[in-house]
Amino acid sequence: MTARQMSLGESANDAAQAAIRYEAADARGVGVVWIDVPEKKVNTLSVALMPQLEAVFAEAAGDGKLRALVIASGKPSGFIAGADIDDLNDVTTAARGTELSQAGQQAMDRLEGFGKPTVAAIHGDCLGGGLELALACTARVATASEKTKLALPEVMLGLLPGAGGTVRLPRLVGLQAALDMMLTGKNIRAEKALKMGLVDQVVPERSLLTAARDLAAALADGQPARKKKKKDIKTMAMEAALEGNIVGRKVVLKQARKMVMKQSKGLYPAPLKILDVVEAGTFAAESEAFGGLLMTAESKGLRHLFHCITALKKNDGPDTADVASRDVARVGMLGAGLMGAGIATVLADKGVTVRLKDIRHEAIGGALDYARKVYGKSVKRKRYNKAGMVQRMGLLSGGVDYAGFTDCDVVIEAVLEKLPLKRAMVAEIENRTRKEAIFATNTSAIPITDIAAEAKHPERVIGMHFFSPVEKMPLVEIIVTDKTSPEVTKTISQLSRTMGKHVIVVRDCPGFYTTRVLAPYMIEATFAAIEGNPVDAIDDAATRIGFPVGPITLMDEVGIDVGQKVLETMKAAYSAHMDFPPDDIDKFVAEGRLGRKASRGFYVYEGGKSKTEKGRKIVDEAIYDHLPQGRNLLAPNHDELGERLVLALVNEAVRCFGEGILLDPESGDLGAVMGIGFPPFQGGPFRYVDRFGARNIVARLRALELRYGRRFAPCPTLCEMAESGARFYG
């Protein structure tokens, strides 16, 4: 009986038993262990499954005809997606975490020491514990499908591989390649996995089980899993120098540690612990480190983010549960600048036909060049071949008129941040496309209600806020008005997911959620500069507490003129509780100091790139002539600057929740981390409040309010939570 044939009335223990079954050896002596966790789209390795895995191995070992064993998934969508996160979240002590790791190690040891050849048949996701299981096999066969990905992503949860991966992976692929996988958590496609020795064969999806059985039979006959490639002398010498001796390994590990510290500033314990454990090279070191990391605040914050991602995967917005989304095959793109080009590029990459419109032919050409460049990088990475690039480029076209827009299912605008222009776009689209076309506006701050004010069909107007660069940033913020149709909301939500994005749905207001909470953060940085703090010290204060870039750098990247326009919108809406700095920024814009795009900003640029000295960006000292304190700079207090920046953002995030702009705290946490760079290990502003307690946050805000004024007055929701002891999460 397969897992899919189980009745719903069976107990949880029976379900775990049925999740793994043994198929007896065939005429060649090859048996198959099938893993198919019931009632789940993907297989995960839970604590409950470990005894069942052991029992099935014992059953297989008792098969007198068995000569070799294949491990395969009964799921059409993947191999094994990793460990069950719920098991990890239930752990309350480091000792218990170590025990979990040891249990996983023992199961993999049982597989590795099975006594007969074993082959993992991999299609789809082979992640975390799934890859560790595959590593314990004698050999691995993977499908050539784009869906097939191999990775050890535990570092992204603040952890390390805990079922033997830190020991087995370096043995298989070498130290440098193993560290790259474990320290980044990145996905490895099948062809690259074959090249690096992570898998032994790559076959078409339809041939997977046959190829795995054939390889298992060949191994049983004493044949090697793959022919060893002859290495040139240079490669052999390099491997011997760096990985074949103790001194070389120490050099590799030392360089890796330097890189980790440069990228993480020591804020994330997991990558540093991975280096320690790999250097030790023992299962005992791995399990002990796993248990310790499981209890860190950083891991809890990162696992909370995973919870947010999972919780929001099926959240398409208010009143959408019983509504069907429309099919979207063709999208019109208004504006072929950087943002429009990025949106079009991602849509075409996912198979959607896109017609671009701009007022200049040069802009259309630039957008197509942009797409060609992005796709070219994918070809180099072997994500697809040149034919795949040609296919994607064939989905893109453009012009200076509305030709090709008549049959668009959705039109997305990314024109200048001017309300009259955006309203004109709505009117033109309503007249030139089929009447039910959805109009999605990519505005940063202008209320969607204002943009739709003169629309014939305001129910078809919605906000679709992307982040730049679109092909890299993982979030889309969808903004609904009181008139937006649930069908429209669901359609745009599903389209965003088709683009491979995480989605948050928020209610309409000036700045929505992400721009609105970013504004106080940026404003506080401006106040700090006006006070005489060095601008690079302000950036340092932000990165020291975990922001990927500082607010001053962000101003240069986004564009000082763009920031000015956003602040104008925010000032008109939120002066009742926000303070806004003097208009000194106007002087920057007046002299053409617009940031990196103009090669003139707070920092020095050459050819559009930052100029650095000893690894630090060089400040353009002329900017201080526009500030009240001139070049009489203060000795910065980094801790207080960081406190001001993070609490300004957190306070506004909670205010948004209290006003109903956010529909749930998960959207607030995911949006802040993936949209505007809130420190990921903190888990988002709402988990930040829960971690430190609302009473503590209010006290810290009050202290800043006494020193800097009303902009730090804690919002009503925080004050109420401080009084009642309430939390955002249970």
Query: Mind listing the pLDDT tens digit for each residue in 677-686?
Result: 999 999 999 9
Q: How confident is the model at residue 466 (pLDDT cuts 50, 70, 90)?
A: very high
Asked if 503 and 546 sit in the same domain, the reply is no
| Between 296 and 41, the higher pLDDT residue | 296
Q: Which two tokens stand for residue 258?
A: 């330097």
Establish if 713 belongs to a structural domain. yes
Please check the confidence at residue 597 and state whether its pLDDT lies above 80. Answer: yes
Asked if 610 and 465 sit in the same domain, the reply is no
DSSP assignment of 641-682: HHHHHHHHHHHHHHHHHHTTSBSSHHHHHHHHHHHH---GGG
Provide the domain count of the chain: 3
Give mean pLDDT, residues 468-486.
96
Establish if 729 belongs to a structural domain. no
H/E element, 34: strand 30-35
To 5 degrees, how large is the angle CA 500–CA 506–CA 509?
Answer: 130
Please check the confidence at residue 15 and state whether its pLDDT lies above 50. Answer: no
Asked if 576 and 479 sit in the same domain, the reply is no
Please check the confidence at residue 39 and state whether its pLDDT lies above 90. Answer: no
Asked if 260 and 335 sit in the same domain, the reply is no
So what's the pLDDT on residue 240? 58
So what's the pLDDT on residue 711? 97
Cβ(168)–Cβ(137) under 8 Å?
Answer: no
Backbone angles phi, psi at 396, to 5 degrees: -110, 135
Backbone angles phi, psi at 389, to 5 degrees: -65, -45
| Between 619 and 565, the higher pLDDT residue | 619
CATH code for the domain of 411: 3.40.50.720
What does the mean pLDDT of the chain come to? Answer: 92
Q: How confident is the model at residue 243 (pLDDT cuts 50, 70, 90)?
A: low
So what's the pLDDT on residue 245? 72
Q: Which two tokens stand for residue 512?
A: 């929505």
Asked if 252 and 121 sit in the same domain, the reply is yes
Report the distance separating Cα 521 and Cα 224, nearest Å.
59
Establish if 584 belongs to a structural domain. yes
So what's the pLDDT on residue 48? 87
Report the distance separating Cα 179 and Cα 166, nearest Å.
9
| Final residue in a domain of this structure, among 507, 530, 549 | 507
Cβ(444)–Cβ(417) under 8 Å?
Answer: yes
Cα 590 versus chain centre, distance = 37
H/E element, 312: helix 297-312
Give mean pLDDT, residues 24-34.
97
Establish if 549 belongs to a structural domain. yes
- Report CA-CA distances (Å) from 197 to 178, 207, 326, 330: 11, 20, 44, 41
| Final residue in a domain of this structure, among 491, 507, 523 | 507
Give mean pLDDT, residues 39-60.
90
Please check the confidence at residue 138 and state whether its pLDDT lies above 70. Answer: yes
β-strands 609-610, 616-617 pairing: unpaired
So what's the pLDDT on residue 1? 30
Q: Which two tokens stand for residue 103?
A: 């249990």
Q: Which two tokens stand for residue 596?
A: 């990196």
Known catalytic residues are: 477
Tell me the residue type at 47.
Answer: V
Establish if 595 belongs to a structural domain. yes
For every residue of 277-288, which 3-state class applies, written as one string? HHHHCCHHHHHH
Backbone angles phi, psi at 124, to 5 degrees: 80, -150
CATH code for the domain of 52: 3.90.226.10
Establish if 54 belongs to a structural domain. yes
Please check the confidence at residue 478 and state whether its pLDDT lies above 60. Answer: yes
Please check the confidence at residue 342 and state whether its pLDDT lies above 90. Answer: yes
Placement of tokens 């302000």 in the chain:
538
Backbone angles phi, psi at 437, to 5 degrees: -60, 140
Please check the confidence at residue 436 and state whether its pLDDT lies above 70. Answer: yes
Cβ(522)–Cβ(558) under 8 Å?
Answer: no
- Report CA-CA distances (Å) from 680 to 157, 485, 526, 653, 676: 10, 33, 24, 16, 11
CATH code for the domain of 670: 1.10.1040.50
Asked if 474 and 525 sit in the same domain, the reply is no
Placement of tokens 């893993």 in the chain:
35
To 5 degrees, how large is the angle CA 94–CA 97–CA 99?
Answer: 115
Q: How confident is the model at residue 40 (pLDDT cuts 50, 70, 90)?
A: confident
Placement of tokens 């505005």 in the chain:
443
So what's the pLDDT on residue 246? 80
Asked if 110 and 258 sit in the same domain, the reply is yes
What is the dihedral angle through the alpha carbons of 140, 145, 150, 153, rounded to the nearest 10 degrees? -160
Asked if 449 and 525 sit in the same domain, the reply is no
Number of residues that make up the chain: 730
Enumerate the β-bridge partners of residue 22: 33
Q: Comparing C-alpha atoms, which of 77, 70, 52 is closest to residue 127?
A: 77
Please check the confidence at residue 609 and state whether its pLDDT lies above 90. Answer: no
Which residues constitute the domain of residue 718?
A: 514-660+664-724
Asked if 482 and 542 sit in the same domain, the reply is no
Report the distance separating Cα 69 and Cα 60, nearest Å.
8
Report the distance separating Cα 24 and Cα 120, nearest Å.
16
Q: How confident is the model at residue 16 (pLDDT cuts 50, 70, 90)?
A: very low
Asked if 276 and 420 sit in the same domain, the reply is no
Query: What tens digit of pLDDT does each residue of 613-667 get?
Result: 988 999 999 999 988 888 999 999 999 999 999 999 999 999 999 999 999 999 9
So what's the pLDDT on residue 226? 81
Q: What percent of the chain has pLDDT over 70?
A: 95
H/E element, 7: none
Tell me the residue type at 69.
Answer: L
Residue spans of beta strands (DSSP E) within 466-511: 475-480, 502-507
Asked if 458 and 549 sit in the same domain, the reply is no
Any residues with CB less than 8 A from the CB of 52 and at least 6 apart, and which? Answer: 16, 17, 19, 20
So what's the pLDDT on residue 499? 97
| Final residue in a domain of this structure, among 271, 295, 319 | 295
Judging by beta carbons within 10 Å of its beta carbon (0-12, 13-18, 19+), is residue 708 exposed, middle or buried?
middle
So what's the pLDDT on residue 623? 92
Backbone torsion region of residue 415, taken as left when φ is above 0, otherwise alpha when ψ lies between -120 and 50, otherwise beta: beta
Give mean pLDDT, residues 355-366.
97
So what's the pLDDT on residue 77? 84
Task: Read off the pTM.
Answer: 0.91
Q: Comparing C-alpha atoms, which of 518, 537, 527, 516 is closest to residue 585?
A: 527
Q: Output Rg (C-alpha) for the chain, integer angstroms.
A: 28
Q: How confident is the model at residue 231 (pLDDT cuts 50, 70, 90)?
A: low
Establish if 309 belongs to a structural domain. no
Please check the confidence at residue 237 and state whether its pLDDT lies above 80. Answer: no
Establish if 316 belongs to a structural domain. no
Cβ(350)–Cβ(391) under 8 Å?
Answer: no
Q: Which two tokens stand for residue 564?
A: 């000015």
Asked if 537 and 651 sit in the same domain, the reply is yes
Q: How confident is the model at residue 382 (pLDDT cuts 50, 70, 90)?
A: confident
